[in-house]
Amino acid sequence: MAGLSAIITLVSFLTTVDLSGFFSNREDITAMIFGVLVIVTFFAGIPFLTAFSYILLAGEIMEFSIDVNTQKLYFLMQKKGYDTTPRDVTNIYPDGRPTSHESKLED
């Protein structure tokens, strides 16, 4: 719905806006270049920056609410039967790290 409404809004905006003011003086090449840059910025740059700012905002909201989200995740994991007890993962191989030769023999 958001994508469809964005397209409808863009089309309705393009049909109502008058861009002829940027291109009325054909002898002045700087005004023509400026007009093209303004139009490109409006129709390509601003939507990109808006979408990028939404991504940054979502990341900030997730970082701000990390404690609440962690508790929700632990609750859902416990509800499904997963053990959420914190573990020390510094010693993954208690008997020592197997060599590549030993791991190939076990396969």
pLDDT at 102 over 60: no
User: What pLDDT shows up at residue 79?
Assistant: 94
Q: What is the mean pLDDT of the chain?
A: 78
User: What pLDDT shows up at residue 75?
Assistant: 93
Instruction: Pick the closest to residue 9 from 55, 43, 45 (CA basis).
Output: 43
- 96: helix, strand or coil: coil
Q: What percent of the chain has pLDDT over 70?
A: 77
Taking residues 84-92, report their average pLDDT: 76
Q: What angle do CA 66, 70, 71 make, to 5 degrees?
A: 120
Taking residues 34-53, report their average pLDDT: 79
